Structure 1
Amino acid sequence: MDYPRPQFERTEWLNLNGEWEFDYDDQQVGDQEKWYLAHDFNKRIQVPFCFQSSLSGIGDTGFHDIVWYRTKVALPEQFAGKRSIMHFGAVDYAAWVWVNGQLVKYHEGGHTPFSVDITEQLNDGENVIIVKAQDFSRDYTLPKGKQYWLEESASIFYTRTTGIWQTVWLEPLAETYLEKVKLTPDIDAKEIKVSTFFQGSLKETLHLKTIISFAGTPVTEEIIKVNSNEMSRRIGLPDFNDHGSGRLWSPEHPNLYDVEFILLDGDNEIDRVKSYFGMRKISIEAGRVCLNNRFYYMKLVLDQGYFPEGILTPPSDDAIKQDVELTKAMGFNGARKHQKVEDPRYLYWCDRLGLLVWGEMANASDFSETYVRRITAEWQEAVERDYNHPCIVAWVPLNESWGVPNILVDKLQQQHALAMYHLTKSLDSTRLVISNDGWEHVKSDICTIHDYESNREVLTDRYSSAEKAVSAFPANRWINVPGYPYQGEPIHVSEYGGISFKKSDWEGWGYSAAQSDEDFIERYKAVTVPLLQSPVVQGFCYTQLTDVEQEINGLLTYDRKPKVALEIIKQINDGKVN
């Protein structure tokens, strides 16, 4: 099993994935009956797959909003004398964790990780870990993305995910250890800003050694005294040169620096973490999107991140890597992860192989005060988790007015969208933010438009000028909320196409329909070429990478088989076919 947090990797860890005891709590009696102390669990489940998936060994798509898990763990020798930290990649939606009958953690948020120090609750020998997860399947105000609130998938909504759906693991750590780092590249100053966060008591004898290398060759090394739980400094990269060194990160050249952090207590090493970073910059200059200070046309594909047997959870690391490789093989230089905070290993492969990512929050459908609290808290955790990945160039906290359905006229919902934009900017000033992707913008670094028009002539005319583009109503929606006029932001058609083409046993729909390979290719050209040739469009995002359940508008089938030759799609995306 590959390390689940590749941007912050330690050598010693214990994977807790595998078979756990499991049960539904449909009568909501588990707390009253103290299942965290004793219970006859009558099912078995394969963690980290949700019970709705076939890979879980259960495959039940019915409503079971409260579920319980139990596993027993005997810690190996390397945990002796160390703090034992338990990590959960994601549990949908709320989670309670008990160790040997003692409650140690509560977490809310279905897409983001959490950790807990369980050292004081552990016994010698076998230890019992209990997890209770509660979903809210029918709650329209819950940030759940594409998970449907009815039993059968329909329209643009898919099978639900409840409970543990990402890796669970343990790490043995010293009394004082490195909790997290933030790595902020500055290509103009030829520096990397390193912010370090320590957990535990600080002693006079603590020092942090930072070693940076590129392709196995040392670049720089420094040792500093640890005198605060939070520290920041800038480290110059003497080898970095924008023009000649070939060290910039981009989809075409995904160059990465490796970095090791070694925490020393005197001469003794007490913690070691491996990470990496990419020297890249995303910005808007003179109304144009720039990557590394050069104009850059983003050719994205909409990627739902669903799998036939695992739903939100990929079946393997190879499956994640394959999705990135197939995306690049079709001439796309990026992906918009739609309504899902994606597994960190997907972002790892985008970093390694070179693929831009728009990181998006899983949205709710309706607005409420509880929704605002939930999405604001979870979104902050998502941005913090993924901050160091060079592949991420844009954040999308809201999409198509999901969660803010009355934003056109409701001042409260407008202020929420503005708050999400500015909150994201306050957490990360280095990336672009699209606060409400597709339409009804109040504030956005890019003017994004969702347009499923299939007629080539209509698209050619509509995107012949910025004025025509922003005054159109392609989804019968205002591009900008009245009072928040278009101010020259770069224009991206961030959803288009959606051409259905049946190439598997799955039945379904799309926004237009192709009858043959030749018909599909012509239809793909008809919607893509006008955007490439537009004098004002600076990027696009085709819907979508794969078929998903009842949607058969993918370039690939649900099991990742190309519907037409990948090279043909690449030639069109490269502008070589008109």
Structure 2
Amino acid sequence: MPRPEHPRPQLTRPTWRSLNGRWDFEIDSGGSGFERGLTTAPLSSSILVPFCPESEASGVGNRDFMETVWYRRVVNIPADWAGTRVLLHLGAVDHDATVWANGVEMGRHRGGFTPFTVDLTDQVIPGADVLVVVRAEDSRTAVQARGKQSRAYAPSGCFYPRTTGIWQSVWLESVPTVHVRRLRITPSVASSSFTVEAVLSENPSGTRLVAELTRDAGHGDGGGADDTVVATATIAADLDLAPAVHLQVPADELRLWEPGSPHLYGLTVRLEDPSGTLLDEVTSYAGLRSISLSGKEIRINGRKVFQRLVLDQGYYPDTLMTAPSDAALVEDIRLALDAGFNGARLHEKVFEERFLFHADRLGYLVWGEFGDWGATVAPEGSVYDQDEPPALQRPTASFVTQWTEVLARDYNHPSIIGWCPLNETAQELTSELTTLDEVTRALFQATKIADPTRPVIDASGWSHRVPETDVYDAHSYSQDPLRFRVLMAGLAEGDPLVDLPGRQWSVPYAGQPYFVSEYGGIWWDPNPPTGDADGEDRSASWGYGQRVRSEEEFHQRFEGLTRVLLENPLMFGYCYTQLTDVFQEQNGIYRFDRTRKLDVDRVRAVQARPAAYESD
């Protein structure tokens, strides 16, 4: 079974079963599967879930357009699940999903990056089989968030092969009728406490919520769990659909979550009836960490931490957007740490929850981002331009819906230190409010309402359209360190680099914390395609600017560009493009297969230099 680990470490019960593995499968080229009875009929081939059909690991390996695909599996429901609700969880299905059980439609979901749950209870009999069918529709032309998936037949520029259908884990879970649907954990370093809100399925009279915080969740590298209870709280749960408890951490048990020392407390939440009988119990974990803004500073636990971030796009050669294994998720974080980065901007993709779990336990800083590309105007002739027709050039309300699902799923992760719902939107500011203006503001406001504890970038790079954005940034791929220093000098005068100069794309800078959230992208291909001796053929290999001719030239350019940012006392961080090569993009610190292509020790040594921002 591929990917057998629990997909949701922050809300676990022992009563679950992975449905990853072999499913029946069929490509529905005419979109006629419903009319042909595929909700119950056999399918023509098979696939290995959770790998998408475009990937080699799935056993299908079809890179053509697949606008509709079907999945089918007969599932046996354990007999000891009698008297419970049986939930089907799907981590991510790209893009419009419909689920049937025994031929009866049970649920729908739109959005290729976010999870959804279907209650199968009415169609299952414990000890018997149930037929589960999933249809995924993935239009090549509709407005939808698709991230870096190419609209063209073949990958080009910075667009990669498509992902259709199921691409994250599928699993069954047995839950009591009265159960915890979701936990919302808010740390407070100022009061040395956690607020734990439990969203419940219902509130029978007399129900109470009990929460226990234990000394160590045991997810770090230092050893096993320590189940010593350090804080406990109980509250009546029958008056509020989302009762909240306050867990006060004693002074002698206080340990913060921070880079280099990512302590995680264990957390158990129980629902009990008036007699004390257990109704439901879930386990989780929590990190005590704060984020605050002060002028141009972003502070973590009250101190300035220079953010040495790397752009991580989360693609793999044989499995595309799905990590081939849980160990592969850990490896990517280890590779970044080995190269001297202390975090990542998770770019144009909503990473699976297990990646965030490993970031939590390894003390890895993360900016959460949406895969919003697919409805973005790009400057004509740029590597981002795919000749989108005008009707496809603006995000829709569906983007807001999907983004709020991301916020709900990932709120509890201490590794996430900021949110970025949009990336590189482009449109001139005018006297009239445009759809892009409204959607950008809607996403920004929704984020601030859903999570007031973290800073939000209205849109990374290009068009900043919300004057009160918490963070202001720019993308610069200048390859000349001297020119790069000139571009960065304006920050000292309150006039930093703004993308796309010469036209008014962004609201004015207002003194927010500022960083260059994309730079570098140095084109280094030790084995360039035949016939590309001049370094100009970008069809099979490309990066930003003129390709370096040797590894030594790479290191000199990397050091020159990075020192400019490290030496700027008003810059709170940077994000280097990127962690690995990705298909035709040859600008990673590592090769696409995660092997070394340059001296990582030299990269780490450059970043190990003190940042001016961190000096008192």
TM-score, shorter chain, exceeding 0.5? yes
Which one of the candidate residues 279, 284, 296 is aligned to 2:293?
284
Q: CA deviation at 1:126?
A: 1.6
Residues 259-283 of structure 1 show CA distances to partners (whole Å, capped at 9, x for unaligned) of 0112223333232211111111111
> What is the aligned partner in structure 1 of residue 40 from structure 2?
37
- RMSD (Å) for aligned C-alpha atoms: 2.1
Q: CA deviation at 1:576?
A: 7.0
Q: Distance in 1 between matches of 2:345 and 2:304?
A: 19
Whether the 8 Å contact between 1:400 and 1:437 is mirrored in structure 2 is yes
Q: Classify 1:394/1:576 alpha carbon distance in 2 versus 1 (closer, same or farther; 3 Å).
A: closer
2:460 pairs with 1:437: yes
Q: Distance in 2 between matches of 1:93 and 1:142?
A: 8
Which secondary structure does the structure 2 equivalent of 1:73 belong to? strand
> What is the aligned partner in structure 2 of residue 406 from structure 1?
427
> What is the aligned partner in structure 1 of residue 421 from structure 2?
397
Q: Distance in 2 between matches of 1:504 and 1:83?
A: 56
What pairs up with 1:198-237 in 2 under 5 angstroms? 198-200=200-202, 202-204=204-206, 206-215=207-216, 216=226, 217-227=228-238, 228-237=240-249
Which letter maps to 1:31?
A: F
Whether the 8 Å contact between 1:137 and 1:160 is mirrored in structure 2 is no
Which letter maps to 2:541?
A: G
Which one of the candidate residues 212, 235, 238 is aligned to 2:250?
238
Which secondary structure does the structure 1 equivalent of 2:261 belong to? coil
Q: Distance in 2 between matches of 1:310 and 1:101?
A: 31
2:580 pairs with 1:546: yes
2:584 pairs with 1:575: no
What pairs up with 1:497-516 in 2 under 5 angstroms? 497-503=520-526, 507-512=540-545, 513-516=547-550
Which one of the candidate residues 587, 590, 598 is aligned to 1:564?
598
Residues 217-242 of structure 1 show CA distances to partners (whole Å, capped at 9, x for unaligned) of 3211223332132112322111368x
Whether the 8 Å contact between 1:85 and 1:118 is mirrored in structure 2 is yes
Q: Distance in 1 between matches of 2:252 and 2:93?
A: 41
> What is the aligned partner in structure 1 of residue 176 from structure 2?
174
Whether the 8 Å contact between 1:88 and 1:169 is mirrored in structure 2 is yes
Q: CA deviation at 1:478?
A: 5.8
Which one of the candidate residues 317, 340, 346 is aligned to 1:308?
317
Residues 450-498 of structure 1 show CA distances to partners (whole Å, capped at 9, x for unaligned) of 00011111122222341668454565476862xx321111110000000
> What is the aligned partner in structure 1 of residue 451 from structure 2?
428
2:59 pairs with 1:57: yes
Residues 42-76 of structure 1 show CA distances to partners (whole Å, capped at 9, x for unaligned) of 11000111000001001000011100010001112
Residues 501-530 of structure 1 show CA distances to partners (whole Å, capped at 9, x for unaligned) of 114688410003222221111111121111
Which one of the candidate residues 6, 9, 12 is aligned to 1:9?
12
Q: Classify 1:381/1:502 alpha carbon distance in 2 versus 1 (closer, same or farther; 3 Å).
A: same
Which letter maps to 2:525?
A: K
Q: CA deviation at 1:302?
A: 0.3
Q: Distance in 2 between matches of 1:478 and 1:282?
A: 34
2:519 pairs with 1:486: no
Q: Distance in 1 between matches of 2:341 and 2:333?
A: 10
Q: CA deviation at 1:107?
A: 0.6
Whether the 8 Å contact between 1:258 and 1:277 is mirrored in structure 2 is yes
Q: Distance in 2 between matches of 1:344 and 1:455?
A: 38
> What is the aligned partner in structure 1 of residue 473 from structure 2?
448
Which secondary structure does the structure 2 equivalent of 1:349 belong to? helix
Which letter maps to 2:261?
A: H
Which letter maps to 1:348?
A: F
Which one of the candidate residues 133, 137, 142 is aligned to 2:136?
133
Residues 168-221 of structure 1 show CA distances to partners (whole Å, capped at 9, x for unaligned) of 1111111111111100011011111111111145132x2222110122132112
Q: Distance in 1 between matches of 2:268 and 2:527?
A: 47
Which secondary structure does the structure 2 equivalent of 1:499 belong to? coil
Whether the 8 Å contact between 2:235 and 2:245 is mirrored in structure 1 is no
> What is the aligned partner in structure 1 of residue 223 from structure 2?
none
Whether the 8 Å contact between 1:437 and 1:448 is mirrored in structure 2 is yes
Q: Where does the alignment leave 5 or more consecutive residues of structure 2 unmatched?
A: 217-225, 377-390, 530-539
Whether the 8 Å contact between 2:234 and 2:245 is mirrored in structure 1 is no
Q: Classify 1:504/1:475 alpha carbon distance in 2 versus 1 (closer, same or farther; 3 Å).
A: farther
Q: Distance in 2 between matches of 1:327 and 1:553?
A: 15
TM norm structure 1:
0.94
Which letter maps to 1:231?
A: P
> What is the aligned partner in structure 1 of residue 566 from structure 2?
532
> What is the aligned partner in structure 1 of residue 84 from structure 2?
82
> What is the aligned partner in structure 2 of residue 117 from structure 1?
119
Q: Alignment length, in residue pairs?
A: 566
Q: Where does the alignment leave 5 or more consecutive residues of structure 1 unmatched?
A: none
Q: Classify 1:277/1:478 alpha carbon distance in 2 versus 1 (closer, same or farther; 3 Å).
A: farther
Which letter maps to 2:211?
A: T
Which one of the candidate residues 241, 255, 268 is aligned to 1:260?
268
Q: Distance in 2 between matches of 1:177 and 1:267?
A: 15
Whether the 8 Å contact between 2:163 and 2:321 is mirrored in structure 1 is yes
Q: Distance in 1 between matches of 2:503 and 2:477?
A: 15
Which letter maps to 2:561?
A: V
Q: CA deviation at 1:30?
A: 1.1
Q: Distance in 2 between matches of 1:273 and 1:472?
A: 48
Whether the 8 Å contact between 1:219 and 1:239 is mirrored in structure 2 is no
Q: Classify 1:548/1:414 alpha carbon distance in 2 versus 1 (closer, same or farther; 3 Å).
A: same
Which letter maps to 1:301?
A: V
TM norm structure 2:
0.88
Which secondary structure does the structure 1 equivalent of 2:61 belong to? coil
Whether the 8 Å contact between 2:489 and 2:496 is mirrored in structure 1 is no
Which secondary structure does the structure 1 equivalent of 2:262 belong to? coil
What pairs up with 1:160-171 in 2 under 5 angstroms? 160-171=162-173
Q: CA deviation at 1:574?
A: 1.3
Q: CA deviation at 1:78?
A: 2.9
Which letter maps to 2:400?
A: T
Residues 415-442 of structure 1 show CA distances to partners (whole Å, capped at 9, x for unaligned) of 3212221121011000010011012212
Which secondary structure does the structure 1 equivalent of 2:211 belong to? strand
Whether the 8 Å contact between 2:182 and 2:199 is mirrored in structure 1 is yes
What pairs up with 1:182-193 in 2 under 5 angstroms? 182-193=184-195
Which secondary structure does the structure 1 equivalent of 2:396 belong to? helix
